[in-house]
């Protein structure tokens, strides 16, 4: 019996060694904590008067005091890559991210955030994928303007009204492909057949599970497709130019045929310790009928400077407008964002201060959030 056990252990070790020789597993992650505080002034608008994210978000109350709180987040990402003997020069990869957020209404939020299956060329020239909530399609062109910390929309969430472009990948299940070396840049295409979907492979085929069905030759729900291009290695004079363009188009099958759209273009320039950039995008999102389309336009300008190898500062100015059924809201959101970041190698410190006028398009409402963040990578 001892000999049999020894043989089994030897066989198991040999199989494990063979598998390890054909694949590699990497584990990355981080843990961060942020102290958030600040103040506000101006009128208090009630829920339902304005909804963020192009009219699709949850209605919020603007003008309330910014609660002092400590936010936290931890992430582990596992990626396994396997050489494909039947296809020399190609590999298959699987990635899954485990993330745990801070408490929400007394309960912690955790689970799978990003995940993806990939078929890729080893020379980096081609990539096909099926994934959930990873940065693909037009989302790769989202943040061309430079920052030294959080992007303009990621200071204290939707209460400010500052939004991101509509895409086909954030929080969605999608498929697509990339050409990472096209014209010196990265071209990415992503298609989400149903933005309300994303269920497991074991789900039954009915609408209550969030899967699309064809009824009288019509699909239920909303589909989206997007394309993005990014080139941040273009040499112009003594510096480097960063170019990003993206487009998202969708269709909604309902009583009235609707088409959400989003366009984005960004340009940046870096020379030495200084980087400058600008980004403009426009979201057009249906709201029940074509007559009540919500259209939001945002423009951001920014500049950063690396004062030392460790210390960087930055400033970003964002202006955003909204029009519903072709009628423009007179209250424009204007945000001034000041940032400081200190790099400690595997750890970093960041400080954001923002002044937002007409937050969530509420005339006279001013928010002044302060966010201090400590992050450790591993």
Which is more confident, 308 or 7?
308
Overall average pLDDT of the 248-252 stretch: 90
Per-residue tokens: 374: 């400590």
**CA distances for 168 relative to 46, 128, 159, angstroms:** 31, 16, 23
Per-residue tokens: 310: 């460790």
CATH of domain 24-198+218-377: 2.40.160.10
- The pLDDT mean for the chain works out to 82
Question: Does 191 score more than 90 pLDDT?
Answer: yes
How many CB atoms sit inside 10 A of residue 271's CB? 12
Q: Does the predicted TM-score (pTM) go above 0.75?
A: yes
**CA distances for 321 relative to 144, 167, 190, 365, angstroms:** 20, 19, 28, 15
65-69, 92-96, 140-144, 303-307: least confidently modelled range = 65-69
Q: Which of 146-160, 188-202, 293-307 has the highest mean pLDDT?
A: 293-307
| Confidence (pLDDT) at 11 | 42
Long-range contacts of 331-337 (CB under 8 A, 24+ apart): 331/358, 331/361, 331/362, 331/363, 332/358, 332/361, 333/160, 333/161, 333/162, 333/357, 333/358, 333/359, 333/360, 333/361, 334/358, 335/152, 335/160, 335/162, 337/152, 337/155
Tokens 């061309």 correspond to what residue? 144
| Confidence (pLDDT) at 3 | 45
Which is more confident, 207 or 283?
283
- In the chain, domain spans: 24-198+218-377
| Confidence (pLDDT) at 365 | 83
What's the number of CA atoms in the CB half-sphere (13 Å) around residue 165?
35
| Confidence (pLDDT) at 45 | 57
Overall average pLDDT of the 215-221 stretch: 46
Query: Which helix (H) or strand (E) covers residue 236, if one does?
Result: strand 221-236
Question: Does 17 score more than 70 pLDDT?
Answer: no
| Confidence (pLDDT) at 52 | 59
Overall average pLDDT of the 322-340 stretch: 90
């Amino acid at each position: 019996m001892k000999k049999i056990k020894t043989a089994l252990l030897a066989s198991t070790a040999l199989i494990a060694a063979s598998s390890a020789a054909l694949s590699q597993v990497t584990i990355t992650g981080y843990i961060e904590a942020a102290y958030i505080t600040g103040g506000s002034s101006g009128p208090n608008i009630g829920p339902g008067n304005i909804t963020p994210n192009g009219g699709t978000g949850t209605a919020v109350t603007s003008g309330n005091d910014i609660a002092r709180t400590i936010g936290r987040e931890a992430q582990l990402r596992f990626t396994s890559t396997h050489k494909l003997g039947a296809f020399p020069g190609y590999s298959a990869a699987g990635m899954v991210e485990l993330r745990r957020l801070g408490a929400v209404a007394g309960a912690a939020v955790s689970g799978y955030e990003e995940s993806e299956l990939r078929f890729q060329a080893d020379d980096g020239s081609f990539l096909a994928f099926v994934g959930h909530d990873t940065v693909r399609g037009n989302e790769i062109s989202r943040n061309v303007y430079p920052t030294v910390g959080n992007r303009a929309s990621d200071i204290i969430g939707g209460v400010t009204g500052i939004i991101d472009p509509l895409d086909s990948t954030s929080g969605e299940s999608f498929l697509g492909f990339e050409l990472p070396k096209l014209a010196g840049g990265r071209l990415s295409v992503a298609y989400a057949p149903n933005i309300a979907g994303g269920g497991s492979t074991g789900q039954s085929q009915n609408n209550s599970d969030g899967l699309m069905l064809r009824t009288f030759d019509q699909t239920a729900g909303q589909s989206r497709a997007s394309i993005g291009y990014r080139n941040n290695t273009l040499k112009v004079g003594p510096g480097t130019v960063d170019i990003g363009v993206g487009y998202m188009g969708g269709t909604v099958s309902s009583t009235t045929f609707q088409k959400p759209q989003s366009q984005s273009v960004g340009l940046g320039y870096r020379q030495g310790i200084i980087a400058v950039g600008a980004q403009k995008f426009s979201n057009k999102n249906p709201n029940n009928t074509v007559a009540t389309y919500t259209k939001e336009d945002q423009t951001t300008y920014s500049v950063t400077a690396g004062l030392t190898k460790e210390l960087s500062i930055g400033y970003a100015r964002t202006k955003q407008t909204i029009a519903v059924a072709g009628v423009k809201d007179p209250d424009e959101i204007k945000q001034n964002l000041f940032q400081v970041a200190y790099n400690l190698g595997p750890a970093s410190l960041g400080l954001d201060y923002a002044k937002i006028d007409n937050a969530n398009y509420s005339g006279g409402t001013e928010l002044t959030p302060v966010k201090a963040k400590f992050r450790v990578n591993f």
